[in-house]
Amino acid sequence: MEQVVTPLERTIGERVRELRSAQALTLDELSTRSGVSRAMISRIERGEASPTAQLLARLCSALGTTLSALFASTAENASPVARRAEQRLWRDPESGYLRRSVSPEGVGSPVDIVEVEFPPGARVVFERQPADRGITQHLWLFSGRLELTMESGPQILEAGDCLFMGLEEAHIFHNSYDEPAHYAVILCRTKV
């Protein structure tokens, strides 16, 4: 994957504010729901902070959305084709993992495809998110190795392996190996 990442802080902040406003939530209410401080949410909304994957996952869960939907364009002229050069990239400032939104945006599909490059030594913890019940994902590892710790137990994935999991359970991604792990996540929203 390319190493150049277009900053999305302003876009992320605008989307968080948009989603919060659409639900008539105050900063304090979103803070209570997500466990993210009011000050941090305010900084994110102003584009002054680079939120981590963990923090964004908590905000998304509290807002009833996914990372893919948060990163997606809200333009009404959706195309059924997502050209690689136009796919959104985001790098987690804490772990350095690179996330590419592969799926065409705005087509109304309950499925999102995400490509991830997870660097050696990287570790990301996603806390239990009960609001994400009914959202599932397949993780298909293309190259490298990846350790996942989930509530159901640990898994070590190698190239070619595919893991199915619910998004609501707590899980930890860890690459303790010397090479990057490159994988796709196919996420499906089935909740009503």
Which structural domain, as residue segments, surrounds residue 148? 89-188
Q: Which residue has the tokens 């994988």?
A: 183
Distances (CA, A) of 6 to 2, 22, 75, 149: 11, 27, 18, 31
Q: Are residues 123 and 56 in the same domain?
A: no
89-108 pLDDT, tens digit each: 999 999 999 999 999 988 88
**pLDDT(4) > 90:** no
**pLDDT(6) > 70:** no
What gap in Å lies between CA 192 and CA 71, rounded to an integer? Answer: 21
Q: Is residue 78 part of a domain?
A: no
Mean pLDDT (whole number) for 132-146? 92
Q: Are residues 107 and 32 in the same domain?
A: no
Q: Are residues 96 and 61 in the same domain?
A: no
pTM of the entire predicted model: 0.81
Q: Are residues 40 and 107 in the same domain?
A: no
Q: Are residues 94 and 180 in the same domain?
A: yes
According to the model, what pLDDT value does residue 191 have? 54
Q: Is residue 84 part of a domain?
A: no
The residue type found at 37 is S
Q: What is the CATH number of the domain that holds 154?
A: 2.60.120.10
Q: Are residues 113 and 22 in the same domain?
A: no
Q: What is the CATH number of the domain that holds 44?
A: 1.10.260.40
Q: Which residue has the tokens 């996420």?
A: 187
45-86 pLDDT, tens digit each: 988 888 998 899 899 889 988 777 787 776 667 899 999 998
Q: Is residue 54 part of a domain?
A: yes
